[in-house]
Amino acid sequence: MNNRVFTVGSLIPGRLMVKPASAPILTEKSQQVVREKSHQVEIIIEQNGSRFEIHPVKGKLLDAALSQGMAIQYKCRKGTCGQCAVTVLQGPGLSKPNEREFEKLKNKISNGYRLACQAEIV
């Protein structure tokens, strides 16, 4: 960054030379991050007739949805109430269902149901 000091006289039209900003230089690592992000597939879930597209970030599915402004219904965040049950329509990178999910959802897991507060994005 240029730390030039401008005086009133230097701001006279014709005296100030402005260089156009150049494109940022991407390192190999930053280019790799851009490539990885462009290949990430959104997680698509449905709850009570509403469909949500969630950008995958590590952590709980519910936390990711809420941080991205999705209006997912939930209550206990422990896997006991079942309010956050969602149908995963497209969900690469989710953990396998845990015991709480099997206990709460029983045979619905085979139909794509998950508890958003228990499902981990890995």
Tell me which residue range forms the domain holding 52.
41-121
**How far is 38 from 32, CA to CA, in rounded Å?**
10
Give tens-digit pLDDT for 53-88: 999 999 999 999 999 999 999 999 999 999 999 999
72 domain-assigned: yes
Residue 99: give its domain's CATH number.
3.10.20.30
Cβ 120 vs Cβ 95: under 8 Å:
yes
Question: Binning pLDDT at 50, 70 and 90, where does residue 92 land?
Answer: confident
Give the residue among 99, 88, 81, 82 at the shortest CA–CA distance from 64.
88
In angstroms, the CA 110 to CA 47 distance is: 16
Cβ atoms of 45 and 91 closer than 8 Å = yes
Q: Is residue 86 one of the residues assigned to a domain?
A: yes
Phi, psi of 54 (to 5 degrees): -115, 130
Q: Is residue 61 part of a domain?
A: yes
> Could you report the per-residue pLDDT of 21-48, keeping only the tens digit for each?
555 666 666 656 555 555 568 999 999 9
17: pLDDT strictly greater than 60 = no
114 lies in some domain: yes
The number of distinct structural domains making up the chain is 1
pTM: 0.67
